[in-house]
Amino acid sequence: MIITSTAYARAGLIGNPSDGYFGKTIAFLVRNFRARVRLWESPHFEIIPGNGDLAKFASVREFLLDQRLHGYYGGMRLIKASLKRFDDYCEGKGIDLDTSRSFTIGYDSDIPRLVGLGGSSAIVVATLRALMQFYGVTIPLEALPGLAHSVEVDELKIAAGLQDRVIQSYEGVVAMDFDKSLIQARGYGNYERLRPAHLPPLYIAYDPQRAEVSDVPHRGLRELFARGDKTVLSAIQRYRELTDLAKAALLAGDWDALGRLMTKTSTSAARSWRSRRRTCG
């Protein structure tokens, strides 16, 4: 039997990137793009490389184009790290995995890479879902985003927030409160599925020519946050307030108010970015 699991792209509606700094966000799933993992029992353990793991190209020019668009990293390391953290999770919960069983696992994804649509986290979430089914392990929904987050942050040392993993685990439209006391006490915040009567017309724009690993923009911002930079801390608090207002506008169907709030979020982000450049540049 072939196990097939899927996780979809996501977009942040408001509050991004405060999820990495105990803020609040609202995000929604984008079903136009997906990552898919296939897993089946086999005599040996094997990870089948995906397109992002190619090491053979028609020319150096083709390689350089691929590197510029997709970076240096494919999905194999995500699958390896997912399996490692899944085993760690089960061991910590006293779940005895039969690791004498072997399987073959492969993935494919049409999520545009390195443009902020959650391509890496989608591979991780889809892999964890496949492993849960293969081993017959149930991970509580509220714990799944944290486990997926640990794959990249703890295992691969990639700076990232919880937002992508939450929306890809819960799906739909989700309001997220990453309250510091909750995160530190139990490892997850308050995640609320929103069910507005309908969504506003949304336009998602991305530019593959400006793709970059998410760790790059987060790195300096995280340093400023850790140092208690007043501009950054003020912006995070402002995100929390704007997200609450946006949630009310979304549920009321007030698209004009929602649009104004999204613009204010972008303005706050720009101010934080300028502060980062002045301090780190």
Active centre residues (catalytic): 164
- DSSP class of 277: H
- State both tokens at 270: 């720009």
- 């309908």: which residue's tokens? 198
All residues at 6 or more sequence positions from 188 whose CB lies less than 8 Å from its CB, including other chains: 142, 143, 145, 146, 162, 182
Q: Which residues does residue 107 pair with via DSSP β-bridges, in sequence order?
A: 37
With CA atoms as reference, report the closest residue to 176 among 12, 31, 32, 30: 12
Helices (H), the chain: 60-70, 76-92, 119-135, 144-150, 163-170, 180-186, 215-226, 230-252, 255-280
